[in-house]
Chains A and B, each alone.
Chain A
């Protein structure tokens, strides 16, 4: 089954404790991206990657890092999480940049205390 898998689905942690949210897709997609969803602010893009070893900032990249060492994986790293990063996070993939439908993971709900 074609899918985008995120882990964990839920996480409660404390300020400053490094965390990684993993994302994996099995569709051989070139393009992957991360979004956060906040009430009143909608869905905003954090980072995207057009291919392996190619990443770029989206609209709200501050406080986040990403890497794309393999085509299928695109982890989101919060080196020093803060409470304003409490949010619902989505990973997505598509065949190419602006090409084909975006497939979303089921989301990761992060709470930073």
Chain B
């Protein structure tokens, strides 16, 4: 099946810093999504981004489908950004998740 790799696995930032999270996938996909799992365990959909660039406030994402990667940018990070960020791709009928990036933003 398709492989989804995220980097870095862990990231610690000071409040106000910027960061880039990466997602690589091993085969063609129908779409790609980014999720944030907050400390309460809830999974929040951040972006549905099969290709191109989208922005939502301090967050933006870019997917280059032809090169099989996606990037999630977090600017001016806040403590509420802490949690795990997952990339997930749909190939055929399956949604496959990466292992996530654990982000900690310290005040």
Contacts and interface: CB of A to CB of B under 8 A. Distances in A.
Interface residues of B, number: 24
Interface of B is mostly: strand
Contacts of B85: none
What band does the interface of chain A fall in when counting residues whose beta carbon is under 8 Å from B?
20 to 34
Contacts, number: 53
A44 B95 CA distance: 9
Contacts of A100: 48
Interface string A83-113: 0000010101000011111111011010000
Interface of B: 1, 30-31, 33, 35, 41-45, 47-48, 86, 88, 90, 92-100
Interface of A: 33, 42-45, 48, 50, 56, 58-59, 88, 90, 92, 97-104, 106-107, 109
